Every structure is written in C-alpha cells, then in structure tokens.
C-alpha cells in the first residue's frame, strides 16, 4: 500500500486497455504514424521525468510501435502534419527498421536515449518486448532509454541511399540541409550510469514456440533467420529454395523464419509486407504441396485489418476462379482484398505484443 500510494505512471498505447490502473494516465497514440495523443503522451512523459530525483526509480516498459505512439519533434517548427508525413515517407521507403529508426531518433525529443537523459539522475530499469534484431536493441521504439549506436552521419547516408530528403516536408528537410540536428546521447553519457535493460520477449520467443507446435504436429523443423531485413523477393526465393532442399530428405518439413522483410511500396493498395510476401510466394508455389504463412505478431500488417496471410499451391487457381488477377494485386500492393475474398487473410486484431514477423513454410 505504501508503494502504491507513491506510484504514478503514464501509458501510451495504440488501443484502449481493458482496464486502467489507479494513478496512471493513459494516451491513445497513433500507429504507424503519430497523432495528437502521441505528442501529448511524449510531453506528459517528459514533464514527469523532469520531476524525478536521484532517489526515484523509473521503470520504462517498451515495445514495438513505441516510435509512433509517443513522439515529440526535436524542433518546434515541425508540425504534427509534418511529423506524420515524415513517418509515412519512412515507412514506405523500403528501408530496414534499424535505418528508419536512426532517422526517427535524430528528429525526436524522446528517442535515441533522450528519455534516459530526461530521467537522470533517477535509477532506471527498462523492460523490453522487442520487435528488432537482438543485436540492435537500441532500435526498439527508437531506443528512448538506451545509448544510441547511430549517428547524424549515418542519417545522411540513409537519406542518400533511399533518396528520402525530397520526400520530407520542408520543416524536416531544412533541418538536414542546415545541418542543425544535435547528436543523440552515446554510451559514455552520465544518464546511462544508473540504467539497466532487461529483454522480456523477442522474436526468438515466437520462433521457438512455433517450432514446438510444428514438432508436435509431426513436422521436421528447421529455423532459418538469415534473411532478416532482406527484400521480400530475395527472402522468399531463398526460403523456398531452402524448403525444397529439405523436402528431398524429409517427407513432412516445416521451415520457420523470424524477423522482417522489406517492401518498397510504390502504389496505394490495401495490404502490408506480410500479405505481399505471401502473395509473391503463391506465384512461386502454384501447383505444389507447399503452404506459406507470413504474419505480424502484433496483429497488424500495413494499412489492412489483417495480421498477414496464408498461401498454398491452390491460391493462384482459386484467385483466378474468383475473378481476381493475382499479378495485378501484387504489382499494385493490393494483396488484402485477394486474401480476404479467398478466406486466407489472418485476422487476429491487435495482440498487445509486437515481436516482429513470423514466416512458416510447410512441405508435405
């Protein structure tokens, strides 16, 4: 009771919680782009942290999606509309999540270790539900409580690589053109002396659980995460080749791959990277006894209501019989209507956790 009377907190989430804790304030931030509540949440967090002292204990609970759900631009001239436009450009550019988050960190007042700076000199503990590779945990939610391993120089290289600068609104573009950004805190910053980080869940957890389930169903299981952050076509071709080789010696095989693939979106259809991946696989496995599933563990895939989709050797034939052109759906990034009509869209609703994507292939 004594601890409870002194406990206060702020929750920023993309969905309304089923219940609320007394003494906590709640904000429904936007995802995958920030909204007004995202900014209000970030401002409330910063104000709360500014009141902490060396005798305070601050517990951060971070998960995937945090980059958008709580956000405040580093420069007051960047409006909410500008912020949303910047996020859209980053999400659609086809860059890996670590590169996207490098840009986000340097444009944010709360990312890239800046919440840790704001909480100093309090003792800090961060509990992590990770949607990033285990080797880049500072990319989780754009690393608000961790030393930033990326630099301003990295940002300029990423902008050049993906030709992003011209896609940003003027207020953001001018910051880069004027070289006006401040560097994020690094590992030698005093803010991290009393900070600790504990991973709670990660993609590895999801992959291991999927492997256990497949083994119980009588499949020989192989895990291959080597194509994490690859282009979707390259990843699909690689994994299907691996699956076919495995099938030569095993009658029932399951190949599991965790992480994410990249898709550079050039048209405004309805879908996401997982459904796009599954539809591409459908073309490659037509007529074969192969099933391919790709889904996001958060229950959200792109701008669709689905988490992902499942395809098999009959997907192409069934789509054409339903009057749908799979090639057109793929080229227009419009996979969701196809899978929805076939009953093969995976719709779970938001799961409350985000530990990246799962791709599961079955051959029998």
Please report which helix (H) or strand (E) contains residue 117, including its range.
Answer: helix 114-119
Domain of residue 16: give its range.
2-201
Q: Clarify whether residues 47 and 157 are in a common domain.
A: yes
- From the list 115, 188, 179, 170, the residue with the least C-alpha distance to 152 is 179
CATH code of the domain covering residue 186? 3.40.50.10180
Count CB-CB contacts under 10 A for residue 230: 19
272 & 287 share domain: yes
Lowest pLDDT segment from 131-145, 212-226, 229-243, 284-298? 131-145
Distance of CA 121 to the CA centre of its chain: 30
pLDDT at 20 over 80: yes
Q: Using DSSP bridges, classify how beta strands 9-13 and 290-296 pair: parallel, antiparallel or unpaired.
A: unpaired
* pLDDT given at position 2: 40
Name the pTM for this structure: 0.79
Q: Inform me whether the pLDDT recorded for 222 exceeds 50.
A: yes
Phi and psi based region of residue 16 (left: phi greater than 0; alpha: psi -120 to 50; beta: remaining) = beta
pLDDT tens per residue across span 177-205: 999 999 999 999 999 999 999 999 999 99
Mean pLDDT taken over the chain: 95
Euclidean distance between CA atoms 294 and 301, whole angstroms: 10
Instruction: For residue 230, give the CATH number of its domain.
Output: 3.40.1480.10
pLDDT at 165 over 50: yes
Overall domain count for the chain: 2
pLDDT-derived band at 46 (thresholds 50, 70, 90) equals very high
């Amino acid at each position: 009771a004594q601890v409870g009377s002194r406990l206060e907190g702020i929750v920023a989430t993309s969905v309304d919680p089923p219940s609320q804790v007394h003494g906590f304030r709640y904000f429904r931030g936007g995802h995958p782009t920030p909204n007004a509540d995202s900014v209000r949440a970030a401002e409330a967090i910063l104000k709360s942290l500014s009141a902490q002292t060396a005798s305070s204990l601050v517990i951060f609970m971070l998960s995937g999606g945090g980059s958008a759900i709580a956000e405040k631009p580093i420069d007051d001239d960047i409006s909410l509309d500008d912020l949303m436009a910047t996020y859209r450009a980053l999400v659609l550019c086809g860059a890996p999540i670590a590169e996207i988050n490098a840009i986000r960190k340097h444009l944010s007042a709360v990312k890239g270790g800046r919440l840790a700076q704001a909480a100093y000199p309090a003792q800090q503990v961060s509990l992590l539900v990770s949607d990033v590779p285990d080797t880049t945990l500072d990319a989780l939610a754009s690393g608000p409580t961790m030393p930033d391993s990326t630099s301003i120089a990295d940002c300029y290289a990423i902008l050049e690589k993906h030709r992003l600068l011209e896609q940003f609104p003027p207020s953001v573009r001018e910051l880069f053109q004027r070289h006006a950004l401040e560097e994020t805190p690094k590992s030698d910053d005093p803010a991290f002396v009393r900070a600790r980080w504990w991973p709670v869940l990660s993609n590895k957890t999801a992959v291991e659980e999927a492997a256990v389930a497949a083994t119980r169903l009588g499949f020989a299981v192989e895990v291959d995460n080597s194509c994490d952050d690859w282009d979707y076509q390259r990843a699909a071709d690689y994994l299907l080749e691996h699956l076919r080789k495995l099938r030569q010696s095993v009658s029932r095989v399951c190949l599991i791959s965790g992480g994410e693939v990249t898709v550079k979106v050039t048209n405004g259809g309805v879908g996401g990277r997982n459904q796009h991946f599954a539809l591409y696989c459908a073309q490659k496995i037509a007529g074969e006894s192969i099933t391919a599933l790709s889904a996001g563990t958060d229950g959200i895939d792109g701008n669709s209501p689905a988490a992902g989709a499942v395809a098999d050797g009959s997907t192409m034939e069934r789509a054409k019989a339903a009057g749908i052109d799979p090639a057109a759906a793929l080229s227009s990034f419009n996979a969701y209507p196809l899978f929805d009509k076939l009953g093969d869209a995976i719709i779970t609703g938001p799961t409350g956790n985000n530990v990246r994507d799962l791709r599961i292939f079955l051959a029998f």
